[in-house]
Structure 1
Amino acid sequence: MNNNPFSKLPEVAVFQLESNDIVEGHPLPAQHYSEMSTLEGSKDLSPHLKWSGAPDGTKSFVVTAYDPDAPTGSGLWHWAVINIPASVTELPTGAGDEYSSGLPQGSLQLPNDLRLDRFIGAAPPAGHGPHRYYFVVHALDVENISVAPNSTPALLGFTMLSHTLGRAVLMATGEIK
């Protein structure tokens, strides 16, 4: 798997991202799979995320979840949350539900590639092999990234390009045999 989703982006500062739910390079627990998958125990729960060491000048955060290995030609965006205040450094498990119940005031979930305003769990096609799921916290130099509420995560990525000060990445895997 050589398609690094960050290889053509400008280099930025790196900061730390950890989770009580997922471990770097390890398989996602079933609760973080999509209920549309065939995996028993799947719940579409977004994982707990906690970050530290964001660069000076950070005014907000964006959280994204992306599978570059989805058989679409462009990967699959599972989650995008914008305008997280700079004072917030943690999201609880399940924050990305359809009610945004665990998200801080002022933040907004954009529609994922299934056009749902929430986190959608892993759902690699059976037998397709391992997929990588990148959970990323982007530190921005603006309080509001100013994209429309119905914007795609790809448009968000383009808009963030000149505002990204740092990036914290946690990659987990998923596979259905």
Structure 2
Amino acid sequence: MSYNPYALAFPAAEFDLRSDDFDNGGPLPTACYNTDAGANRSPALAWSGLPDGARSLVITAFDADAPIPGGLWHWAVKDVPTAAGSINGNAGVSGGAELPAGAVLLTNDLGQAAYSGVRPPPGTGTHRLFVCATALSVDSLEISDGASLAMLNIVMIPHTVGRAVLVGTSDAPA
């Protein structure tokens, strides 16, 4: 569990990203799981201390420990206005009704334009969900409909002015 997907990422100024739902490095709440006991709910997030020039955010959630090559992208949303300052828990619901005006859900690795909760397979140990907010110098990130999340990360590079990462852990359901 030592792989950090952001260690080699395009350098960017740091800012503060926090959640009322979990502490950085701590366990995700059951509500963030996609299980019978869980609610498949995205975590609440809040940010502050954005670098100069930040006009929008891209928020992603990535399981670096998923037992598949390249990990698993659980969530991606672009064009989040920086002035919103936060998003509510369950903002990742399909349709984006809980997101700030203008924000756009992108299709995750499970084929859903929504947050797909964690559900580590039995025997795969503790997984880390990297929740990342990337501050961009544009109000809207131009990306083709249906573009991969790898392409999202590439398109963000020239517009990136800041990055903040929270890590939540999850384990296979009992």
Give TM-score scaled by structure 1 length.
0.94
CA contact (8 A) 1:65 1:136 kept: yes
Give the C-alpha shift of residue 88 in structure 1. Answer: 1.5
Aligned to 2:8: 8
Tell me the SS of whatever aligns to 1:127.
coil
Aligned to 1:56: 52
Asked if 1:158 corresponds to 2:148, the answer is no
In 1, the alpha carbon distance for the partners of 2:82 and 2:89 equals 19
Instruction: For structure 1, list consecutive stretches of 5 or more residues without a partner in the other structure.
Output: none
Give the C-alpha shift of residue 159 in structure 1. Answer: 0.7
CA contact (8 A) 1:83 1:106 kept: yes
How large is the Cα RMSD of the aligned pairs?
1.1
In 2, the alpha carbon distance for the partners of 1:155 and 1:43 equals 29
After the TM superposition, which parts of structure 1 deviate over 3 Å for at least 4 consecutive aligned residues? none
Give the C-alpha shift of residue 75 in structure 1. Answer: 0.4
Aligned to 2:142: 146
Tell me the SS of whatever aligns to 1:161.
helix
In 1, the alpha carbon distance for the partners of 2:134 and 2:61 equals 11
Tell me the SS of whatever aligns to 2:76.
strand
Identity fraction in percent: 39
Counterpart of 2:10, as a letter, is P
Asked if 1:113 corresponds to 2:102, the answer is no
Deviation string, structure 1 residues 66-95 (Cα, Å, up to 9, x no partner): 001111110000000001112121000101
Tell me the SS of whatever aligns to 2:152.
helix
Asked if 1:74 corresponds to 2:83, the answer is no
Instruction: For structure 2, list consecutive stretches of 5 or more residues without a partner in the other structure.
Output: none
Aligned to 1:95: 91
In 1, the alpha carbon distance for the partners of 2:12 and 2:95 equals 32
CA contact (8 A) 1:67 1:131 kept: yes
Give the C-alpha shift of residue 106 in structure 1. Answer: 1.2
Give TM-score scaled by structure 2 length.
0.95
